[in-house]
Structure 1
Amino acid sequence: MEDFHVAKFIETRGDELGLFAIYDGHLGDSVPAYLQKHLLTNILKEGRGGSTAVTAILINGRKLWIANVGDSRAVLSKGGQAIQMSVDHEPNTERGIIETKGGFVSNMPGDVPRVNGQLAVSRAFGDKSLKSHLRSDPDTRNADIDLETDLLILASDGLWKVMENQEAVDIARKFRDPQRAAKQLAVEALDRDSKDDISCIVVRFRG
């Protein structure tokens, strides 16, 4: 398990900011520990590991910004309908860019596509050995939080490999307590025999 998550509210310049993020580390557990201590400062100096990330900033409970690098995902629920707010950065999807940078995408039988036969995502930060062939720029989206907005789910790919967006929303909406909802999603992913790291944050909106 190489994940690390952030979920907190802070006050700054008269605004309330909700900060939520999941970092899915790979190639070593130094990355999540380093993130916890240094909040991404100088991460590229730290060993051979790397990470994907999905982050959300909620401004005064009214405006939501999402950014992601890699295959951790953000899903918003409006009136119970799942809306994917992030982009899964998969090697086959961005094969042309990887090859332009001098890398390659392997497609071995029984395995997922991998950059240079190693990494199963086309965007990440860190990963010194693959840095020249990867992108680290995030995709971003934003949404207004209205009365129909139920909840937000952030989760690493261990959840999404075994669960569709709408399934996750349907499960999470059964619980008023967001921590119980997040725990239930993780339990369900385990019950479905997920083999990857599973981290989940559920944010409930007041409506």
Structure 2
Amino acid sequence: MATIGVTRGLGDHDLKVHDSNIYIKPFLSSAPEVRVYDLSKYEHGADDVLILATDGLWDVLSNEEVAEAISQFLPNCDPDDPHRFVYFHAQDLVMRARGVLKDRGWRISNDRLGSGDDISVYVIPLIHGNKLS
């Protein structure tokens, strides 16, 4: 809504959408969505990852698009490179969500608008969970 700042959004009950009388607070929740995934229940391979990202990624890319990007990118990386998840995968996802600057703004695939929000992405390898059992 071109107004919300994270710290203001959680505490400012009188915050309104820019140039309107619409209060922001009914659209926000300070209760996070929590999902539990028991790493010890599964055997993970070197290419099994968890993507943790801000809404700047998820607003413009679907789960399927992110999964496809990762599965296309992983086979092209050295599996012994400890930085492959940060330097290659996370940066690739950020760039996909941001898009490229064209005459009508930032654009991603199919000429859709790229993210105008902040984009933070963590690509977390799950193989280390194998050691938990």
What displacement does 1:204 show? Answer: 1.2
Give 4+ residue runs of structure 1 displaced > 3 Å after superposition: 118-121
CA separation of 1:120/1:184 partners in 2, compared to 1, >3 Å: closer, same or farther? farther
Which residue among 121, 124, 128 is the counterpart of 1:203?
A: 124
SS at match of 1:186: helix
Contact 2:9 2:28 (8 Å CA) reproduced: no
SS at match of 2:92: helix
Tell me the amino acid that sits aligned with residue 172 of structure 1. Answer: I
SS at match of 1:138: coil
Q: Which residue of 2 aligns with 1:188?
A: 96
Partners of 1:121 and 1:159 lie apart in 2 by 19
Q: Which residue of 1 aligns with 2:58?
A: 160
CA separation of 1:181/1:147 partners in 2, compared to 1, >3 Å: closer, same or farther? same
Identity %, equivalent residues:
29
In terms of fraction of residues, the more strand-rich structure is 1
1:142 pairs with 2:40? no
Gapped regions of structure 1 (runs ≥ 5):
1-24, 32-48, 52-102, 107-114, 124-135
Tell me the amino acid that sits aligned with residue 184 of structure 1. Answer: D
For normalisation by structure 1, the TM-score amounts to: 0.37
Structure ranking higher on relative contact order (CA contacts 8 Å, 6+ apart): 2
Partners of 1:190 and 1:142 lie apart in 2 by 29
Q: Which residue of 1 aligns with 2:111?
A: none
Contact 2:9 2:25 (8 Å CA) reproduced: no
Contact 1:162 1:194 (8 Å CA) reproduced: yes
Pairs within 5 Å for 1:5-44: 26=5
1:178 pairs with 2:85? yes
Partners of 1:189 and 1:170 lie apart in 2 by 14
In terms of fraction of residues, the more helix-rich structure is 2
**Larger gyration radius, structure 1 or structure 2:** 2
SS at match of 2:94: helix
What displacement does 1:172 show? Answer: 2.1
Q: After superposition, what is the alpha-carbon deviation per residue over 1:108-141, rounded to whole angstroms, capped at 9, x for unaligned? A: xxxxxxx71x369421xxxxxxxxxxxx233322
